[in-house]
Amino acid sequence: MALKQKGTDAAAAADPKKRRRVGFSGIDVGVEANECMKVFIARNPDEVGSENSITLQPFDLNHFFGEDGKIYGYKNLKINVWISATSFHAYADISFEETSDGGKGITNLKPVLQNIFGENLVEKDEFSKTFSKECEYISSVVTDGNVIKHDASTDKDSAVEIVRVELQGAAAFLYCRLVPLILLLVEGSTPIDITEHGWEMLLVVKKAEQASSNSNFLVLGFAAVHHFYHYPESTRLRISQILVLPPYQGEGHGLRLLETINSIAESENIYDVTIEDPSDYLQYIRSSIDCLRLLSFDPIKPALSSMVTSLKETNLSKRTSSLKMVPPSNLAETVRQKLKINKKQFLRCWEILIYLNLDAEYRKSMDNFRACIYDRIKGEILGTSTGTNGKRLVQMPSNFDEETCFAVYWTQEGGDADDQTVEQQPEDLKTQEQQLNEVVDSQMEEIVEVAKNVTSRGKDKLGDSCSVSC
């Protein structure tokens, strides 16, 4: 880690006869880490120190620097960090004009950077040497793993492989080197406990061209997955972390990882596959993949056709009748057994599949579809329309924000219905209705976006599904 001071203080130190001006400075307001710190990927030694390297976009650097996310005591501070694409070591170059305590102290940058990058953080000379010294490191991890072959929906690059390794030994050490990228690029992430039994990692690697790289392989992305016990004698598979490195995003590697995990789950008869706290984009990709799998899954087609017909023929506009847009109870279990899609994910995909089989130009069926989404969300938040299961939402007076403050409580079953009902004012009901519709609109947007992606990626499968339901 290099610290370079430049400007007035440095000049004064070089010329002791030069007189320095004395004055009163204002209170130090600090500078946000997001404004003065940049992170780059260096693919070779020539890119070290160059701001023309590939720039990473961390979701938020501020949260590493205290509660307010600011750095104090530096004038014109600039922090550049380069991460090796070969070994994942890091080098930090820090420059500033001067330091002064403006009332908030002077932030000690070294422990903060070490907290992010750990033992990966090295000096420039050592960092440059890692491109040659560590060139065989990833190759040894890949060689000890198992190459996974599967039928992917994306065009295959013959140089790209997915390798499965247990998180122990050299593979565990490689994961530790990847942790800083996880902390920087995945919001709310924390390192997994690699000492716990059942962890493994799927690496997306590419055979490097020897003319441009000293390493036999480059890591393009990875997924950390955990096998854990499911009663009485099966195993569930949870995706804990999945990341494609920024230089290689948009090339379908995340899709390959998810498809490979699904393939492993089916071939090894895993109970089901879950994802730990997925981001919106990961959920979008996951739902797109699962919907494509379900479109060619014959057991769901009769129930799907029946549901689509009901939406076309039922009139829900006057709310004199109701329709629950749920699959038969045994269908979710069939999907779990065959495709390893868990129930919650299947119900999410079920609504998307129904939307795909409706004519967007046919107003009645689309209105009915939205009404079913509305009823489901209302039931999840407030309880069912017929009984609410004793759940009540009551507007609460508050000096903070009277429009957003409310309380949810449950009443005992079996009591007087009149005693259990809380009278709501018309303006309260209007606000509640508005908030519900906003949630429904957001859910509809998510369904439409996934449906568009499925349509563009699987026209043949979609055609087969439509021919069954229409």
Please give the positions annotated as active site: 276
Give the count of beta carbons closer than 10 Å to the beta carbon of residue 460. Answer: 9
Residue 113: which residues within 8 A CB-CB, separation 6 or more?
1, 79, 81, 92, 121
Q: Where are the alpha helices (DSSP H) in 236-342?
A: 253-267, 280-295, 301-313, 329-339
The number of residues making up the chain comes to 470
Question: What stretch of H or E contains 452?
Answer: helix 426-457
DSSP code per residue over 162-230: EEEEESSTHHHHHHHHHHHHHHHHSTT-----TTSTTEEEEEEEEEPPTTT-SSSEEEEEEEEEEEEEE
Contact 26, 65 (CB under 8 A): no
Give the count of beta carbons closer than 10 Å to the beta carbon of residue 20. Answer: 9
Which of 214, 195, 186 has the alpha carbon at shortest distance from 84?
Answer: 214
Residue 226: which residues within 8 A CB-CB, separation 6 or more?
192, 196, 198, 199, 237, 238, 240
Helices 426-457 and 343-356 pack at an angle, to 10 degrees, of 80
Which of 200, 136, 192 has the alpha carbon at shortest distance from 171?
Answer: 200
Helices 343-356 and 301-313 pack at an angle, to 10 degrees, of 50
Residue 328 per-residue DSSP state: -
Give first-to-last CA distance, the chain, whole Å: 65
Q: How many whole angstroms separate alpha carbon 253 and alpha carbon 263?
A: 15
Question: What stretch of H or E contains 391?
Answer: strand 391-395
Residue 446 CA, distance from chain mean position: 15
Contact 219, 138 (CB under 8 A): yes
Q: How many whole angstroms separate alpha carbon 247 and alpha carbon 91?
A: 19
